[in-house]
Amino acid sequence: MAPIAVGDSLPDGTLSYFDDQDQMQTVNVHSLAAGKKIILFGVPGAFTPTCSLKHVPGYIEKADELKSKGVDKIICLSVNDPFVMKAWAKSYPENKHVLFAADGSAKYTHALGLELDLSEKGLGTRSRRFALLVDDLKVKAANVEAGGEFTVSSADDILKAL
């Protein structure tokens, strides 16, 4: 399947996350994104160096600026279980706006065409590193990284697209 691209409609699917009351929620992506401007950014793995030290912190630091430009939701997606994503989210006590969403089976990541096979490294199927700017379910920017790079999917890169 070809990776999602500018002009495509965001596929529907389900993701899991923990809410502010520490209750696990399963939500349809369209219910999060319909009629809204969202950023969906994907990372290969929770607690991994580039994801934890660069990618996620950038979105947390720039969240107010992104919101001031009309972004309603910022969602971090990873092929991890919701309990791992909950623990990872708690490692950023300063976070107020980034939702840490789990795609434990990688079904949604496959629907996006952004899966990454890291079986040779013992990690199985993961998500490629990417950032999507989506307005009312239509992709306006699709910044997908090649290999292990971190050059086009940062919060600063999405700010340029706004």
Q: Which residues are catalytic?
A: 51
- Residues 118, 44 contacting (CB under 8 angstroms): yes
**Which residue do the tokens 């990372």 mark?**
43
Q: Which two tokens stand for residue 85?
A: 């994503």
SS3 content of the chain, % helix, strand, coil (to 5): 30, 30, 40
- Residues 51, 44 contacting (CB under 8 angstroms): yes
